[in-house]
């Protein structure tokens, strides 16, 4: 029963987040006003469709397993260790809670990034990591983040507690 209660609370909080309740709206510069090279980059963030694309869960989904619609292949790819790349950049640490369990894919909504890109989160408690799409949200860099259900399951983070993460970007 505690899992059902936790999921109900997470869904309630997620609804507030998706409706924008309690969040400031950001105003971003249109891509046309940016220098030529940056405009193209702003218009097309580098994301990995294998990691970020999954169907939404059915309306009847009410467990971790049914809400997580990623495939075993996607989980394997997201968990695969990566060799350090020259473009990899440490963004720092954040404390994450469960994001919307109905939003599919591997993602982290965080104030540590200013534009959408691919990256990696590592659970400081156990060293497990996942590739994720880093999605910017308003707030100070010390603000909290929201992590997708599939990513939380992959890094074996508690769905009902805050998890301390190390975040890196792929470029």
Side-chain-facing half-sphere of 84: CA atoms under 13 Å: 3
Banded pLDDT at 46 (limits 50, 70, 90): low
Query: How much is the pTM?
Result: 0.70
CB 101 within 8 A of CB 14: yes
Determine the average pLDDT of the residues in 65-80.
92
> Can you give the residue ranges of every domain in the chain?
2-22+45-169
The pLDDT tens digits of the residues spanning 122-149 come to 999 999 999 999 999 999 988 999 999 9
pLDDT the model gives residue 48? 72
Whole-angstrom distance, CA of residue 136 vs CA of residue 17: 14
The region of weakest confidence among 28-37, 57-66, 151-160 is 28-37
pLDDT value of residue 86: 65
Q: How far apart are CA 69 and CA 49, in angstroms?
A: 14
For the stretch 74-92, pLDDT in tens is 999 999 877 666 678 999 9
Task: Report residue 25 as tokens.
Answer: 């709206």
- Average the pLDDT over 93-110 and give the result: 96
Helix, strand, coil percentages, rounded to 5, for the chain: 30, 25, 45
Q: 167: which strand partners? A: 92, 121
Does 2-22+45-169 carry CATH code 3.40.50.300?
no
pLDDT class for 170, splitting at 50, 70, 90? confident
Burial 90-113 (b: 16+ CB within 10 A, else e): ebeebebbbbbbbbbbbbbbbbbb
* Closest residue by Cα to residue 46 from 88, 91, 15: 88
158 has pLDDT over 60: yes
pLDDT reported for residue 87: 72
pLDDT at 163 over 70: yes
- Strand (E) or helix (H) holding 98: strand 89-98
């Amino acid at each position: 029963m505690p899992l059902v209660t936790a999921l109900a609370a997470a869904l309630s909080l997620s609804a507030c987040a998706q409706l924008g309740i309690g969040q400031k709206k950001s105003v971003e510069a249109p891509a046309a006003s940016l220098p030529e090279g940056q405009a193209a980059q702003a218009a097309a963030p580098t994301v990995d469709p294998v990691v970020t694309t999954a169907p939404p869960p059915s309306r009847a989904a009410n467990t971790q397993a049914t809400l997580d619609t990623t495939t075993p292949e996607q989980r394997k790819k997201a968990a695969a260790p990566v060799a350090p790349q020259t473009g990899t950049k440490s963004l720092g640490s954040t404390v994450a809670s469960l994001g919307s369990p109905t939003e599919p894919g591997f993602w982290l909504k965080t104030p540590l990034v200013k534009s959408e890109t691919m990256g990696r989160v590592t659970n400081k408690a156990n060293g497990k990591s996942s590739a994720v799409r880093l999605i910017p949200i308003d707030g100070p860099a010390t603000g909290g983040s929201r992590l997708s259900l599939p990513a939380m399951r992959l890094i074996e983070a508690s769905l009902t507690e805050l998890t301390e993460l190390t975040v890196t970007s792929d470029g």
